[in-house]
Amino acid sequence: MITATQLPFGLLLLAAIWAGAQNQLAGGGSFITLPALMLTGMDARAANITSTVALFPGQVAGGWMGRAHASGTASLSLRALIGLSLIGGVIGAVLLLLTPSDVFARMVPWLVLFATVAFAWGSFFRKPVAEGEEAKPLGTMAAGTIQLGIAIYGGYFGGGIGFLMLAALALSRVPVRAAASTKNVLAGVMNLTAVLIFLGSGQVHWLAMVVAMVGALSGSWLGAHMLARVNERALRFVVVAIGIALTIALFRVS
């Protein structure tokens, strides 16, 4: 018989499986794990930290599988982008730990709203760069500043970073395939530094993190096998709908 104490962790496992599959198919898995972790009783900041750590192994796997196609931009090498992502991830993680839990709780609805808008824009309104398309790319300063800003946001909250990086790489005229692979590598890198900081912060809820990590890894495997069978556009609509519903719910309780 399932007790009231066990129920939130059962829901967390199912939510994490969904999030892992969703990250493989369309992205936006943190929209699922954040509220699921909050249901186990932790505050919004601890839930965000625990979610980042739990989803990290799946990000590493995705970045590793596509590393051969990752590239720099016309003005910044891949090594420079990785360096900026490492620095930004540290800054964002430290800023999150310095933010009082009650302040972060009031910020979460706005962060989720921003992430939802970024996801919707990246899914349905962003014009991709065609292979071989010629246009003036971003300069070194602009491209570097944008990537550093995205990395800081990624270390602090992380929702929608994939689409923000795809947009930045599109402005730098990186072809679609290379941009997708580069985005996966950089997401893993910026979260690496954040995760290392979070692991020593005392803010990770270990039982919930392990449950979510196991679920997310299982979901990632499931999602990889579903890639050829799932309507990605329909799934992106579902992700946006979840983001809108979560935003409304968070504003109502904040």
Q: What is the pLDDT of residues 16-71, one digit of tens each?
A: 998 888 877 767 788 889 989 998 989 999 999 999 999 998 878 777 776 777 88
The answer to whether the beta carbons of residues 151 and 89 sit under 8 Å apart is yes
Selected residue with higher pLDDT from 224 and 12: 12
Q: How many domains does the chain have?
A: 1
**Residue 3 maps to a domain:** no
Give the tens place of pLDDT for each residue, 2-27.
Answer: 444 556 888 999 999 988 888 777 67
3-state SS, one letter per residue, for the chain: CCCCCCHHHHHHHHHHHHHHHHHHHCCCCHHHHHHHHHHCCCCHHHHHHHHHHHHHHHHHHHHHHCHHHCCCCCCCCHHHHHHHHHHHHHHHHHHHHHCCHHHHHHHHHHHHHHHHHHHHHHHHHCCCCCCCCCCCCCCHHHHHHHHHHHHHHHHHCCCCHHHHHHHHHHHCCCCHHHHHHHHHHHHHHHHHHHHHHHHCCCCCCHHHHHHHHHHHHHHHHHHHHHCCCCCHHHHHHHHHHHHHHHHHHHHHHC
Looking at the predicted structure, is the pLDDT value of residue 164 above 60? yes
Selected residue with higher pLDDT from 74 and 208: 208
**Residue 1 maps to a domain:** no
**Residue 2 maps to a domain:** no
**Residue 4 maps to a domain:** no
Range of the domain at 217: 10-253
Sign of the Cα torsion 171, 173, 178, 182 reads negative
Output the pTM of the full model: 0.81
Go through 93-119 and write b for each residue having 16 or more CB atoms within 10 A of its CB, e for each that does not: bbebbeeeeeebbebbbebbbbbbbbb
How far apart are the C-alpha atoms of 88 and 252, rounded to whole Å?
32
